[in-house]
Amino acid sequence: MEVAEQKAKADGRWPVMTQGKQLCVIICVFALLAFGFPGTLSALDQSDSGFQAYLQSLWPRAEAAGVRRATFETAITGLTPDPSAPAASAKQPEFDKPLKAYLAEAVSTPRILRGRAALRRWSPELSHISQRFGVPPQIIVAAWGMETDFGAAKGGKDIVRTLGTLAYQRQDRALFGDEFIAALVILDKGLAPREKLKGSWAGAMGDPQFIPSAYLKYAASFDGSAFADIWDKPQDSLASIANFLRQSGWRPNLPWGMEVVLPPGFDFASLHRSFAAFKAQGVVNADGSPLRAEGDATLFLPSGAAGPAFLLSDNYWVLKAYNNSDSYALSLSLLADRINGGGELRGRWPAGEAFLSRADKSLIQRELQKRGLYSGAIDGRFGQASRDAIHAFQIAAKISPADGYGSQEVLRRLTQN
């Protein structure tokens, strides 16, 4: 996905299947967990003839995708629904847990140390991969850590059976049927053997947690061979992660962003400026060094002006193509910095911060929509579109500072009349 398009979708909604130059796919198990199911799948009869009938109904779509009949029949013959697939939770830690708490788990000291060990262990391969795709080694390793804790949590489910089950259970969800067929395409093309297609119950495979369509588009072998083994060859997984990020718009030699310090009396008139403009206003890196001058940036204050401050570059939005959550993307970014030897955040989270509930956030979005300031989904998940709308309201209502933060004060002012 082009960076501009990713920014437009950066408001707590999932990347969607598209047929454009860049296919932004949901490749992270967290994104797949967002789809709620009405109950567990244990009620399904493993000999359910309806399951086989449903799979047979997918043949025209499989044939249109180029799958041979023999491959199709081999894959579904004797296949039964998986009763162990749990009902998905409607909650997601990326959106429902306070960022401070999310960061404490995602960027924990043990994970940082494991990441540094992985960076050393795979240094020669990462150097080659980074030169090939233009993505820094620490970003690649951090994505690996966020997805499967460096290979410790890949999942062992039969992906063909799992996706068939999910597609059968929710026939109104085209995603799982499409991914079931994509798995058959992998088999039909001989890109990976059936016994390799293992992953999470939601269909995400291997170290990078690629769903089948993502594997078809982004999987890359380290040595150039036809089979990208994202299950048992970390070097292939690292190359695949880098390929995904590069194809999603990652720009070489551009940081994801950085923690910054705002000067006293900072002008909050705009959250979007060039790095040079922020620099001219007196914004400096967290260590006091001068800001870079090239490129555009977005000011991100996840706890408002009283908490840590970040400037986000275009590459930050590319990370959200992996998982469209600020908690995830910021955690990945900060984990990469720590893996690369960086220190802890300089800014401090506000004590006693009053967090908004999901319902409160939805109410804010609804009130902003009434005022013509917001046109996104009413989902209680704040992304950049919500923050921009809040910022516009703060400016109009003369709320200072106009930091784009959805606070209790913003909620009160929006609903007081």
Residue range 345-384, pLDDT digits in tens: 999 999 888 889 999 999 999 999 999 999 999 999 999 9
| Domain C-terminal end among 229, 250, 271 | 250
Same domain assignment for residues 44 and 139: yes
- Determine, yes or no, domain membership for 10: no
Q: What mean pLDDT do residues 187-207 have? A: 95
Could you give the number of structural domains in the chain?
3
- Determine, yes or no, domain membership for 184: yes
Give the separation between CA 312 and CA 310, rounded to whole angstroms: 6
| Domain C-terminal end among 339, 370, 405 | 339
Same domain assignment for residues 30 and 88: yes
- Determine, yes or no, domain membership for 8: no
Q: What mean pLDDT do residues 95-108 have? A: 90
Same domain assignment for residues 99 and 67: yes
Angstrom CA distances, 281 to 169, 264, 268, 304, 391, stand at 55, 10, 10, 19, 19
- pLDDT-based confidence at 391, cuts 50/70/90? very high
- Determine, yes or no, domain membership for 5: no
Given 3-state DSSP classes, what are the helix, strand and coil percentages for the chain, each rounded to the nearest 5? 45, 5, 45
The CA radius of gyration of the chain, in Å to the nearest whole number, is: 22
Same domain assignment for residues 36 and 128: yes
| Domain C-terminal end among 221, 250, 279 | 250
Question: Does the structure show a pLDDT above 70 at 131?
Answer: yes
Q: What mean pLDDT do residues 18-45 have? A: 43
Its pTM stands at 0.90
Same domain assignment for residues 242 and 377: no
Per the listing, tokens 């499409």 go with: 178
Same domain assignment for residues 125 and 209: yes
Same domain assignment for residues 169 and 244: yes
Same domain assignment for residues 230 and 266: no
Confidence at residue 172, expressed as pLDDT on a 0 to 100 scale? 54
Confidence at residue 38, expressed as pLDDT on a 0 to 100 scale? 42
Question: Does the structure show a pLDDT above 60 at 13?
Answer: no
Strand partners, 158: 198
For residue 378, what are the domain limits?
358-415
Angstrom CA distances, 97 to 32, 51, 256, stand at 18, 37, 23
Same domain assignment for residues 262 and 227: no
Q: What mean pLDDT do residues 230-257 have? A: 98
- Determine, yes or no, domain membership for 193: yes
Q: What mean pLDDT do residues 183-189 have? A: 98
Query: In one letter, which amino acid is 60?
Result: P
Q: What mean pLDDT do residues 231-240 have? A: 98
Mean pLDDT of the chain: 89
Would you give the distance in Å from CA 381 to the centre of its chain? 14
Confidence at residue 86, expressed as pLDDT on a 0 to 100 scale? 54
Helices (H) and strands (E) in the chain, counts: 20, 7
Range in 20-24, 185-189, 218-222, 292-296 the model is least confident about: 20-24
Same domain assignment for residues 51 and 84: yes
- Centre a 10 Å sphere on the Cβ of residue 131 and count the other Cβ atoms it contains: 10
* Beta strand extents in 134-232 (DSSP E only): 157-158, 198-199
Confidence at residue 35, expressed as pLDDT on a 0 to 100 scale? 41
Same domain assignment for residues 175 and 304: no
Confidence at residue 236, expressed as pLDDT on a 0 to 100 scale? 99
CB 205 within 8 A of CB 181: no
